[in-house]
Amino acid sequence: RRGALLLFLLGALPGFAAAAPASVDVAVAANFIGTARTLAARFEAAGGGRVRLSFGSTGSLYAQIRYGAPFAVFLAADARRPRLLERAGLTVPGSRFTYALGRLVLWSTRAGLIERGGKVLAQGRFRHLAIANPRTAPYGAAARAVLEHLGLWRRLAPRLVTGENIAQTYQFVASGNAQLGFVALSEVPPAHTPRAGSRWLVPAALYPPIRQQAVLLARAAHKRTARAFLAYLRGPAARRVIRAHGYGLPAAVRTDARRP
């Protein structure tokens, strides 16, 4: 049924013929790696065409797009960069929408290190704390906001290990190079598994909302496969996958083009 629905979406697009759908190049924020791979595989299996994924920090991908990188779709980890691209005339009007709400977690591979409320941060029972670069990675900016809210940013600055993106930050913690770190909930092993470690799901009130937005880039305005992939991303099957990977979902997937 899902395959039939996707083919219907493709067929409903103007000028679509029976030929096999073309490929689509998608720039994806690093926190969304696992989820994007699952979504791409299911889209392809349903006959939607090949999806080529490129990963990086939202800031670095934004810069690449500004300098002409040949992406068709941008899946950012914030709303700011898609909005800036929109204002620069580099996106298709009306195509921007929130596809996921990011959740920040303080995580360690060591069971018992992180207690409820993240008290370990104030206690300082660690050598290194990993965060993503706050200047280029939205999850890094969220981590800094948490530390500033707790009054610990300056005190812990000498202990910070900064990842280029949230995926590298996760590797710092997973490898033990940092005893703990702020990462995306979607990356953390499920509870009650061997590598679950310890964690603190940071209250959303401690950092600005991580509204992850998608947008169709202007160079792909007439690419049917790119439009079909975004239509799939807004649909119920994709939303179930996104939720299963630890993300929140907006109450309704709607276009945010008029939102400031």
Tens digits of per-residue pLDDT, 168-213? 999 999 999 999 999 999 999 887 777 889 999 999 999 999 999 9
How distant, in Å, are the alpha carbons of 13, 37, 120, 186, 212 from that of 32? Answer: 28, 8, 27, 8, 10
DSSP label of 228: H
Q: How many CB atoms lie within 10 A of CB 157?
A: 11
CB 214 within 8 A of CB 82: yes
Lowest mean pLDDT among 3-7, 125-129, 243-247: 3-7
76 inside domain: yes
Lowest mean pLDDT among 19-33, 118-132, 195-209: 19-33
Q: Percent of the chain having pLDDT more than 90?
A: 83
Task: Return the axis-axis angle of helices 224-233 and 236-244, rounded to nearest 10°.
Answer: 60
The predicted model scores a pTM of: 0.85
Number of domains into which the chain is organized: 2
Is 6 in the same domain as 94? yes
CATH code of 109's domain: 3.40.190.10
Is 51 in the same domain as 74? yes
Residue 144 CA from chain centroid, whole number: 18
Is 19 in the same domain as 93? yes
End-to-end CA distance of the chain: 37
For residue 195, what pLDDT is reported?
80
Confidence grade of residue 119 (pLDDT, cut at 50, 70, 90): very high
For residue 256, what pLDDT is reported?
54
Is 92 in the same domain as 221? yes
